[in-house]
């Protein structure tokens, strides 16, 4: 492994927190280990000097939840393509939901998938870590608990379904049963009956575009009930996919009174809203649906204030045939592992809506905390000024279901260099 000197790189450290925009620094990498150069630093003779005035050095990103095509839908996404997409996007860890085919609802299924992952790691340098959410309930209907104790033997990230659990009594029993395990639990609060056939968040835009509306109460009614159960049982829970202003308000109030919760929204809900539906692009059909402009502002403010702890990618690849249909018929979801950081940077940091430190924390150290894990020790180099075209041959994901396909975006992670240990704060 070569020795490298990155000259005048900007260091972001969300833990300190430090954003060294006023004092960039030289960083020495010896055998992948990073240290800041000081006047007394002895530089090795076999040194590759890399001008890095436009680069950002920061901890690798952590994705709370995304979807894998393997097993069952390898035409959408394989484990290898998912990991390559994650690596290209700056993620050092990605955690997949159990909605595979068959579902990850047995320890044997997770062990088998992990065995495949271990084989892939051998030929992907600096391969991201892959984590597995074990299923809370069996089947899409989610009417019965899985063998939760058996799943825990498979070294899972924690428990989640990725879909809403409609039975509140079952939610209560799950939280009671899982309390002793001390592993993360992630729940998606949504009342499917209140949603009905709604596919666009209720508001002027949905009415103007003639799309069936999904009322705010489909999120907030389920969220309020779930919060009360959590408060009663006392088992910590991560609440997924917040998408409305009222949802953010409920999270804030619950945290203020000490309910043991963390919460996340997805990256697309921060940079798009119902006005994005005007062209009926099926790549903007999501679950939950995009919020109104007011919801979007509340979500951004939630990340800024810490009411919302983290930004998840919820990457969901589909084939061209599955997604290229009428808006109402398209399955919900879009890819995002390779696109989230540059697009969030441009929409939120460059625009001044969010600081670089806040964005990085919400994508890196905070998700790790939500997963009860240590902060990432591997670093990435991000070039916030590099322009690149989002084309099928440039994407690592097998799925190309993104509204930015064929467009140029600004910002790219540099995967050329091997950086294994993050620079300690000075």
> Which of 161, 197, 314, 383 does the annotation list as catalytic?
314
- The whole-number pLDDT of residue 420 equals 63
Q: Residue 198 falls within a domain, yes or no?
A: yes
What are the tens digits of pLDDT across the range 163-208?
999 999 999 999 999 999 999 999 999 999 999 999 999 999 999 9
Q: Residue 249 falls within a domain, yes or no?
A: yes
What band does 426 get if pLDDT is binned at 50, 70 and 90? Answer: very low
- The whole-number pLDDT of residue 23 equals 66
Mean pLDDT on 378-391: 95
Are 13 and 379 in contact, with CB atoms under 8 Å apart?
Answer: no
- The whole-number pLDDT of residue 44 equals 82
**pLDDT higher at 323 or 32:** 323
How far apart CA 7 and CA 407 sit, in angstroms, is: 31
- The whole-number pLDDT of residue 41 equals 78
What band does 424 get if pLDDT is binned at 50, 70 and 90? Answer: very low
Q: Residue 248 falls within a domain, yes or no?
A: yes
Q: Residue 7 falls within a domain, yes or no?
A: no
Give the domain range for residue 189: 59-378
- Quote the pTM value: 0.95
What are the tens digits of pLDDT across the range 150-167?
999 999 999 999 899 999
What are the tens digits of pLDDT across the range 32-68?
777 777 777 778 878 888 888 889 999 999 999 999 9
Q: What's the CATH code of the domain at 286?
A: 3.20.20.140
Q: Which residues contact 127 (CB under 8 A, 6 or more apart)?
A: 83, 87, 120, 121
* 314 part of the active site: yes
Q: Residue 397 falls within a domain, yes or no?
A: no
- The whole-number pLDDT of residue 422 equals 55
Residue 269's CB is within 10 A of a number of other CB atoms, namely 26
Q: Residue 9 falls within a domain, yes or no?
A: no
Q: Residue 37 falls within a domain, yes or no?
A: no
Mean pLDDT on 342-360: 97
Report the SS3 class of residue 208: helix
Q: Residue 104 falls within a domain, yes or no?
A: yes
Q: What's the total number of domains in the chain?
A: 1
């Amino acid at each position: 492994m070569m020795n490298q000197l990155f000259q005048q790189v900007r260091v972001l450290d969300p833990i300190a927190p430090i954003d060294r925009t006023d004092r960039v620094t030289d960083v020495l990498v010896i055998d992948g280990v990073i240290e800041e150069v000081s006047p007394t630093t002895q530089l090795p003779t076999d040194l590759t000097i890399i001008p890095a005035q436009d680069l950002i050095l920061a901890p690798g990103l952590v994705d709370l939840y995304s979807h894998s095509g393997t097993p069952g839908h390898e035409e959408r996404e394989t484990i290898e393509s998912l990991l390559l997409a994650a690596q290209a996007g700056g993620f050092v860890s990605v955690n997949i939901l159990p909605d595979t085919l068959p579902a990850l609802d047995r320890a044997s299924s997770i062990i088998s998938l992990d065995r495949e992952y271990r084989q892939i790691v051998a030929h992907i340098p600096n391969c991201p870590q892959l984590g597995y959410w074990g299923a809370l309930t069996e089947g899409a209907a989610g009417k019965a608990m899985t063998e939760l104790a058996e799943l825990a033997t498979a070294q899972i990230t924690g428990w989640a379904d990725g879909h809403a659990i409609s039975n509140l009594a079952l939610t209560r029993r799950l939280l009671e049963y899982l309390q002793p395990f001390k592993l993360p639990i992630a729940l998606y609060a949504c009342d499917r009956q209140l949603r009905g056939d709604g596919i666009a968040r209720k508001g002027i835009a949905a009415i103007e575009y003639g799309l069936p509306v999904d009322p705010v109460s489909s999120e907030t009614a389920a969220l309020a009930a779930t919060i009360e159960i959590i408060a009663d049982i006392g088992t910590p829970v991560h609440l997924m996919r917040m998408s409305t202003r009222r949802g953010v308000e409920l999270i804030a109030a619950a945290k203020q009174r000490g309910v043991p919760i963390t919460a996340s929204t997805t990256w697309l809900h921060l940079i798009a809203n119902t006005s994005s539906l005007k062209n009926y692009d099926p790549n903007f059909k999501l679950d939950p649906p995009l919020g109104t402009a007011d919801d979007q502002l509340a979500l951004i403010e939630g990340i800024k204030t810490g009411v919302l702890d983290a930004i998840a990618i919820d990457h969901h690849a589909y084939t061209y045939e599955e997604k290229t249909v009428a808006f109402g018929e398209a399955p919900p979801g879009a890819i995002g592992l390779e696109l989230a950081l540059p697009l969030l940077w441009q929409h939120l940091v460059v625009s001044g809506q969010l600081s670089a430190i806040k964005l990085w924390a919400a994508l890196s150290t905070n998700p790790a905390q939500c997963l009860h894990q240590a902060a990432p020790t591997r670093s990435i180099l991000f070039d916030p000024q590099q322009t690149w075209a989002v084309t099928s041959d440039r994407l690592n994901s097998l799925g190309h279901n993104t509204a930015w396909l064929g467009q140029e975006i600004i910002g790219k992670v540099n995967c050329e260099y091997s950086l294994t240990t993050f620079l300690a704060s000075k």
